[in-house]
């Protein structure tokens, strides 16, 4: 791939694959959405992650990463906003598990009402949440620069060409992985419907992980 300004391309491919399959807020959100709401909202969330990451990759190329590095206060505010949003999602998930006490009849009525609402608004809500989740992680911008630059030939003049190719490979792995998680989660939805305790345990774990990611984002 030297003709396109890329060095050690296959090393990059392995590294990009490892980065994508590592657990993170975006993939957890898509999986959780698939398990609790079904395939369509999860696909909307996956699309939002793709859009958000594309925006961040573009920002990293045009110099936003340098701006964030030069203005630590701005970086801190964006990072804090992202951490608070993650924490809010985590508490919201945990509250849905432990904070509501309903009668069986009340649960049935709410299930019917929520089903109608989800059909009309579930996909949009998942897209919006996943997009905010993706865009409020300023570390991703710095990561893209630090990761991509290792595989770009400094002597190659048109830097946008290798940058675009590397970004396309990363996004291919990303959408493939998110589609896999969507299918996995949608299949798990049937099992969760039969075993409510499994849903409670899974939501507790995901809510806790979101809080963990929030603390890591703010404190690192």
pLDDT tens digit string along 139-179?
Answer: 787 788 788 888 888 888 888 899 999 999 999 999 999 99
In a domain, 163, yes or no: yes
pLDDT at 116: 45
In a domain, 32, yes or no: yes
Tell me if 96 sits within 8 A of 203, measured CB to CB: yes
In a domain, 127, yes or no: no
Q: What's the chain's average pLDDT?
A: 81
Mean pLDDT, to the nearest integer, of 21-31? 88
In a domain, 94, yes or no: yes
In a domain, 19, yes or no: yes
Torsion of CA 177, 180, 184, 186, to 10 degrees: 110
Confidence of residue 113 (pLDDT cuts 50, 70, 90): very low
In a domain, 126, yes or no: no
Mean pLDDT, to the nearest integer, of 111-116? 47
Any idea what the Cα angle at residue 96 is, between residues 93 and 97, rounded to 5°? 95
Structure tokens at 80: 């804090």
Look up the domain containing 80 and give its range.
2-98+138-219
In a domain, 165, yes or no: yes
Domain count, the chain: 1
Handedness of CA 176, 181, 184, 189 (dihedral sign): negative
Mean pLDDT, to the nearest integer, of 33-41? 88
In a domain, 50, yes or no: yes
């Amino acid at each position: 791939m030297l003709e396109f300004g890329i060095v050690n391309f296959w090393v990059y491919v392995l590294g990009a694959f490892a980065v994508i399959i590592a657990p993170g807020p975006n993939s957890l959100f898509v999986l959780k959405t698939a398990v609790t709401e079904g395939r369509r909202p999860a696909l909307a969330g996956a699309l939002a992650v793709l859009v958000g990451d594309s925006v961040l990759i573009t920002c990293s190329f045009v110099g936003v990463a340098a701006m964030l590095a030069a203005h630590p206060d701005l970086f801190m505010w964006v990072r804090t906003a992202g951490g608070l949003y993650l924490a809010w999602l985590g508490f919201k998930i945990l509250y849905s598990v432990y904070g509501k006490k309903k009668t069986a009849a009340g649960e049935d009525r709410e299930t019917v009402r929520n089903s109608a609402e989800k059909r009309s608004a579930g996909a949009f809500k998942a897209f919006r949440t996943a997009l905010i989740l993706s865009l409020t992680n300023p570390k991703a911008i710095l990561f893209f620069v630090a990761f991509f630059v290792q595989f770009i030939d400094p002597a190659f003049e048109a830097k946008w060409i290798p940058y675009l190719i590397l970004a396309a490979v990363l996004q291919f792995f990303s959408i493939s992985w998110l589609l896999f998680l969507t299918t996995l989660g949608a299949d798990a939805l049937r099992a969760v419907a039969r075993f409510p305790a499994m849903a409670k345990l899974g939501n507790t774990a995901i809510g806790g992980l979101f809080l963990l990611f929030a603390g890591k984002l703010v404190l690192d």
